Structure 1
Amino acid sequence: MIQTVQQSLLIIAVIAFGTLLTRALPFILFPDSNKTPAYILYLGKTLPFAAIGLLIVYCLKNVSPLAAPYGIPEAIAIGAIVLLHLKLNNTLLSIGGGTVLYMLLVQLAFG
């Protein structure tokens, strides 16, 4: 479906407004003059771990231990991520290194 210039501009304006609103809303709801509510502090401490757990489950949902390659590349990459994080204590480097290792394993060793 081809859109007119006015339709395209309206879509861009709505998306820009939505983006601006989502960026400004926390500052509007929780100004510096007020104390941050306890439940927001709680969510700030627990949600990152929940998000990582959700990503792990999502990434491993289609891995079958009964079909080749039996989840071996995933297990090796997860082990590398854990070891890198324990040794270097750098989340970005751990995830990046594990991702690169996984892609190499899938493309070269188990492809």
Structure 2
Amino acid sequence: MSPAQQVWTVGICVLGTVAMRFLPFLAFGRGRRTPEFVRYLGRALPAAVFGMLVVYSLKDVSLVSGGHGVPEVIGIAVTVGP
């Protein structure tokens, strides 16, 4: 990839990121109430994402061979922590 293509690629990525960051402020500006569905997603999605990450991380763990999932259990215990 040439330097010009690299600059264009980075520039487009920056513009896309900035647009996605400011879009909610433009769509739900001051004086407007945030739709109930969007508020529901704000409450429900964080737990759903963490659940998906746990399932994805543990999908290939075998309890009948190797370490029997001990490293994964230790990792979860350290992450959840006291």
Instruction: Place the TM-score, normalised by the shorter chain, in its bin.
Output: 0.7 to 0.9
2:18 is matched by which residue type in structure 1? L
Root-mean-square deviation (Å):
1.6
Out of 42, 45, 48, the position equivalent to 1:47 is 45
Which amino acid is 2:38 matched to?
I
From 1, 6, 9, give the equivalent of 1:8: 6
Distance 2:20 2:4 in 1: 24
Structure 1: gaps (5+ residues) = 85-111
- Higher RCO (CA < 8 A, seq sep 6+): 1
List alignment gaps of at least 5 residues for structure 2: none
Corresponding residue for residue 74 of structure 2: 76
- Percent of aligned pairs with the same amino acid: 37
SS in 2 for 1:68: coil
Give the 3-state SS of the residue equivalent to 1:32 in structure 2.
Answer: coil
Structure 2 Cα separation of the partners of residues 74 and 18 of structure 1: 37
Q: Alpha-carbon deviations, 1:70-95, whole Å to 9, x = none?
A: 112222343454551xxxxxxxxxxx
TM-score by length of 1: 0.66
Judged with a 3 Å threshold, the aligned counterparts in structure 2 of structure 1 residues 18 and 72 are, in CA distance, closer, same or farther, namely same
